[in-house]
A and B are shown apart, each in its own frame.
Chain A
Amino acid sequence: NAGVTQTPKFRILKIGQSMTLQCTQDMNHNYMYWYRQDPGMGLKLIYYSVGAGITDKGEVPNGYNVSRSTTEDFPLRLELAAPSQTSVYFCASRAGRRSGNTIYFGEGSWLTVV
């Protein structure tokens, strides 16, 4: 059981470049999340989704976009990379309140913008 899979694990971007962080889960979870974690800090919610076709902004959405065309996939798009987006990005998922509140995290994607 793969759980939550993120790619790539490491990436270096130049300022102004664009990229997509991929996230896939094979647990048929309704809820999916993207967090970023800056050094020595907790996790900040970027975007979340409560099901296919439904997304909403979290605490720090500026500079990012998401889509949720299927239950399994929740990609995070950076359109114009900025040094402030240098961070570790975690994708996560959970089943839902009736099926369990446990959040499962991917292994993280380390992004550096130079």
Chain B
Amino acid sequence: QKEVEQNSGPLSVPEGAIASLNCTYSDRGSQSFFWYRQYSGKSPELIMSIYSNGDKEDGRFTAQLNKASQYVSLLIRDSQPSDSATYLCAVTTSPRLGSARQLTFGSGTQLTVLP
């Protein structure tokens, strides 16, 4: 079973702090990694993608990937109340031998940024 695991939270941080979200995955063949943000009652929206080991920064967001440890994380600097949402980690996996790669989601981490 190809799995993606996240701490479900909830995670609470004060406004202006750094929020750290973590994700581990089991499929060593995974090549693409994504972080989605989902507000309550809304569809997921892509905020970061990362394909190579190391860090990738985009504004207040930094994604970190370590394929050897099968670990991907998301840092949110200067957290704002508007960042309060559920963050979903997604990883490309092959559900069955010979099938096309699909996007497997973790169960999400609920983040609350306190004013």
A22 to B106, CA, bound (A): 26
**A40 & B43 in contact (Cβ 8 Å cutoff):** no
**A48 & B102 in contact (Cβ 8 Å cutoff):** yes
**A90 & B100 in contact (Cβ 8 Å cutoff):** no
28 contacts between A and B (CB under 8 A): A33-B103, A35-B105, A40-B8, A40-B107, A40-B108, A41-B107, A41-B108, A42-B6, A42-B88, A42-B106, A43-B105, A44-B105, A56-B99, A58-B102, A59-B95, A59-B104, A90-B43, A90-B44, A101-B32, A101-B49, A101-B92, A102-B46, A103-B46, A103-B103, A105-B45, A106-B43, A107-B43, A108-B43
Chain A min CB distance to B93 (Å):
10
A90 to B102, CA, bound (A): 15
**Residue from B32, B42, B43, B95 in contact with A58 in the complex, judged by beta carbons closer than 8 Å:** B95
Nearest chain-B residue to A41 (Cβ)? B107
**B44 & A45 in contact (Cβ 8 Å cutoff):** no
**A42 & B43 in contact (Cβ 8 Å cutoff):** no
Which range holds the interface residue count of chain B?
20 to 34
For A35, what are the chain B residues with a Cβ–Cβ distance below 8 Å? 105
A40 to B110, CA, bound (A): 9
For A44, what are the chain B residues with a Cβ–Cβ distance below 8 Å? 105
